[in-house]
Protein backbone atom coordinates (compact mmCIF):
# COMPACT_ATOMS: atom_id res chain seq x y z
CA UNK A 1 0.00 0.00 0.00
CA UNK A 2 1.46 3.35 -0.98
CA UNK A 3 1.62 6.12 1.61
CA UNK A 4 -1.28 8.55 1.59
CA UNK A 5 -0.53 12.07 0.37
CA UNK A 6 -2.75 13.50 3.11
CA UNK A 7 -0.66 14.47 6.13
CA UNK A 8 -3.41 13.70 8.65
CA UNK A 9 -3.63 10.01 7.69
CA UNK A 10 -0.70 8.72 9.80
CA UNK A 11 -1.91 10.74 12.79
CA UNK A 12 -5.43 9.34 12.57
CA UNK A 13 -4.21 5.78 12.09
CA UNK A 14 -1.91 6.00 15.09
CA UNK A 15 -4.65 7.63 17.17
CA UNK A 16 -7.10 4.83 16.35
CA UNK A 17 -4.53 2.15 17.19
CA UNK A 18 -3.48 3.74 20.47
CA UNK A 19 -7.11 4.39 21.40
CA UNK A 20 -7.93 0.72 20.86
CA UNK A 21 -5.13 -0.34 23.18
CA UNK A 22 -6.04 2.25 25.80
CA UNK A 23 -9.71 1.24 25.54
CA UNK A 24 -8.87 -2.36 26.40
CA UNK A 25 -6.96 -1.20 29.47
CA UNK A 26 -9.73 1.23 30.45
CA UNK A 27 -12.34 -1.48 29.92
CA UNK A 28 -10.54 -3.76 32.36
CA UNK A 29 -10.27 -0.94 34.92
CA UNK A 30 -13.88 0.24 34.48
CA UNK A 31 -15.16 -3.32 34.62
CA UNK A 32 -13.20 -4.08 37.77
CA UNK A 33 -14.34 -0.89 39.51
CA UNK A 34 -17.92 -1.47 38.38
CA UNK A 35 -17.80 -5.04 39.68
CA UNK A 36 -16.37 -3.86 43.01
CA UNK A 37 -19.06 -1.20 43.38
CA UNK A 38 -22.18 -2.89 42.02
CA UNK A 39 -21.40 -6.51 41.20
CA UNK A 40 -22.04 -8.04 37.79
CA UNK A 41 -24.38 -5.20 36.74
CA UNK A 42 -21.61 -2.70 37.48
CA UNK A 43 -19.16 -4.78 35.45
CA UNK A 44 -21.43 -4.72 32.39
CA UNK A 45 -22.24 -1.03 32.87
CA UNK A 46 -18.55 -0.12 32.98
CA UNK A 47 -17.66 -2.22 29.95
CA UNK A 48 -20.60 -0.91 27.93
CA UNK A 49 -19.81 2.72 28.78
CA UNK A 50 -16.20 2.36 27.61
CA UNK A 51 -17.30 0.49 24.48
CA UNK A 52 -19.78 3.21 23.53
CA UNK A 53 -17.31 6.02 24.17
CA UNK A 54 -14.65 4.37 22.02
CA UNK A 55 -17.14 3.48 19.27
CA UNK A 56 -18.48 7.03 19.02
CA UNK A 57 -15.00 8.57 19.05
CA UNK A 58 -13.62 6.09 16.49
CA UNK A 59 -16.39 6.79 13.98
CA UNK A 60 -15.06 10.30 13.34
CA UNK A 61 -11.45 9.21 12.85
CA UNK A 62 -12.48 6.29 10.66
CA UNK A 63 -14.74 8.49 8.52
CA UNK A 64 -11.90 10.99 7.96
CA UNK A 65 -9.52 8.17 7.01
CA UNK A 66 -12.14 6.79 4.64
CA UNK A 67 -12.77 10.22 3.11
CA UNK A 68 -9.04 10.81 2.58
CA UNK A 69 -9.07 8.02 -0.03
CA UNK A 70 -10.52 10.52 -2.49
CA UNK A 71 -7.69 13.04 -2.05
CA UNK A 72 -6.83 14.55 -5.41
CA UNK A 73 -10.28 13.98 -6.86
CA UNK A 74 -11.96 17.15 -8.16
CA UNK A 75 -14.86 16.49 -5.77
CA UNK A 76 -12.60 15.72 -2.80
CA UNK A 77 -13.80 18.57 -0.59
CA UNK A 78 -17.46 17.79 -1.17
CA UNK A 79 -16.94 14.05 -0.66
CA UNK A 80 -14.84 14.65 2.46
CA UNK A 81 -17.44 16.79 4.18
CA UNK A 82 -20.32 14.55 3.07
CA UNK A 83 -18.60 11.47 4.50
CA UNK A 84 -17.60 13.14 7.78
CA UNK A 85 -21.06 14.69 8.21
CA UNK A 86 -22.58 11.27 7.47
CA UNK A 87 -20.40 9.80 10.22
CA UNK A 88 -21.61 12.44 12.68
CA UNK A 89 -25.24 11.78 11.74
CA UNK A 90 -24.62 8.05 12.14
CA UNK A 91 -23.21 8.70 15.63
CA UNK A 92 -26.22 10.81 16.56
CA UNK A 93 -28.63 8.14 15.38
CA UNK A 94 -26.78 5.34 17.17
CA UNK A 95 -26.57 7.43 20.35
CA UNK A 96 -30.32 8.13 20.38
CA UNK A 97 -31.23 4.48 19.72
CA UNK A 98 -28.76 3.14 22.31
CA UNK A 99 -29.92 5.57 24.99
CA UNK A 100 -33.59 4.74 24.35
CA UNK A 101 -32.88 1.00 24.49
CA UNK A 102 -30.68 1.24 27.59
CA UNK A 103 -32.86 3.69 29.53
CA UNK A 104 -35.24 1.01 30.78
CA UNK A 105 -32.73 -1.75 31.45
CA UNK A 106 -32.60 -2.89 35.09
CA UNK A 107 -29.00 -4.12 34.79
CA UNK A 108 -27.55 -0.70 33.97
CA UNK A 109 -25.93 1.06 36.93
CA UNK A 110 -26.31 4.71 35.81
CA UNK A 111 -23.39 6.18 37.77
CA UNK A 112 -20.91 3.50 36.64
CA UNK A 113 -22.18 3.77 33.06
CA UNK A 114 -21.87 7.57 33.04
CA UNK A 115 -18.44 7.66 34.65
CA UNK A 116 -17.08 5.02 32.28
CA UNK A 117 -18.28 7.07 29.29
CA UNK A 118 -16.59 10.16 30.74
CA UNK A 119 -13.40 8.18 31.37
CA UNK A 120 -13.52 6.89 27.77
CA UNK A 121 -13.81 10.41 26.39
CA UNK A 122 -10.99 11.65 28.65
CA UNK A 123 -8.83 8.70 27.59
CA UNK A 124 -9.44 9.54 23.94
CA UNK A 125 -8.47 13.17 24.46
CA UNK A 126 -5.28 12.14 26.26
CA UNK A 127 -4.36 9.74 23.45
CA UNK A 128 -5.04 12.46 20.86
CA UNK A 129 -2.72 14.88 22.66
CA UNK A 130 0.06 12.30 23.10
CA UNK A 131 -0.08 11.24 19.45
CA UNK A 132 -0.14 14.81 18.15
CA UNK A 133 2.78 15.85 20.35
CA UNK A 134 4.90 12.90 19.24
CA UNK A 135 4.12 13.09 15.50
CA UNK A 136 6.48 14.99 13.26
CA UNK A 137 4.79 16.93 10.50
CA UNK A 138 6.24 19.52 8.20
CA UNK A 139 4.99 23.07 8.64
CA UNK A 140 3.79 23.07 5.03
CA UNK A 141 2.14 19.93 3.77
CA UNK A 142 -0.11 18.54 1.08
CA UNK A 143 1.40 20.78 -1.62
CA UNK A 144 3.95 20.41 -4.38
CA UNK A 145 6.44 23.13 -5.18
CA UNK A 146 7.87 23.86 -8.62
CA UNK A 147 11.29 22.32 -8.94
CA UNK A 148 12.79 23.82 -12.07
CA UNK A 149 12.70 27.09 -13.97
CA UNK A 150 12.10 26.87 -17.74
CA UNK A 151 15.32 27.52 -19.69
CA UNK A 152 13.77 30.23 -21.90
CA UNK A 153 13.07 32.40 -18.87
CA UNK A 154 15.63 33.99 -16.58
CA UNK A 155 15.02 33.68 -12.78
CA UNK A 156 13.93 37.34 -12.36
CA UNK A 157 11.81 37.58 -15.51
CA UNK A 158 7.99 37.60 -15.46
CA UNK A 159 5.87 35.10 -17.38
CA UNK A 160 4.74 37.80 -19.82
CA UNK A 161 8.38 38.47 -20.80
CA UNK A 162 9.85 41.88 -21.65
3-state secondary structure 30-87: HHHHHHHHHHHHHHHHHHHHHHHHHHHHHHHHHHHHHHHHHCCCCCHHHHHHHHHHHH
List Cβ neighbours of 6 (8 Å cut-off, separation of 6 or more). 68, 71, 142
In this predicted structure, the answer to whether residue 33 has a pLDDT above a threshold of 70 is yes
Domain extent, residue 58, equals: 39-134
86 in any annotated domain: yes
Ordered DSSP codes for 90-106: HHHHHHHHHHHHHHT-T
78 in any annotated domain: yes
Torsion of CA 62, 125, 38, 105, to 10 degrees: -40
Note the pLDDT tens digit of each residue in 95-154. 899 989 988 899 999 999 999 999 999 998 898 888 878 877 666 656 666 776 666 665
Burial class (CB in 10 A: 0-12, 13-18, 19+), 120: buried
61 in any annotated domain: yes
Note the pLDDT tens digit of each residue in 47-85. 999 999 999 888 888 898 899 888 888 888 999 999 999
The pLDDT score that the predictor gives to residue 142 is 60
4 in any annotated domain: no
Q: How many domains does the chain have?
A: 1
d(CA 71, CA 138): 18
33 in any annotated domain: no
153 in any annotated domain: no
149 in any annotated domain: no
Q: Distances from the Cα of 85 to the Cαs of 63, 80, 90, 149, in angstroms?
A: 9, 8, 8, 42
Proportion of the chain above pLDDT 70, given as a percent:
81
Residue with the larger pLDDT of the pair 158 and 37: 37
62 in any annotated domain: yes
The pLDDT score that the predictor gives to residue 152 is 65
Amino acid sequence: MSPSPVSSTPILRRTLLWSAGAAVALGVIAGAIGFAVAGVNGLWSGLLGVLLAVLFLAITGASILFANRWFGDPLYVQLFFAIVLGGWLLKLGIFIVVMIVLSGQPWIVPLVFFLSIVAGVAMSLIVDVIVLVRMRLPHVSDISLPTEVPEDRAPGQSAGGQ
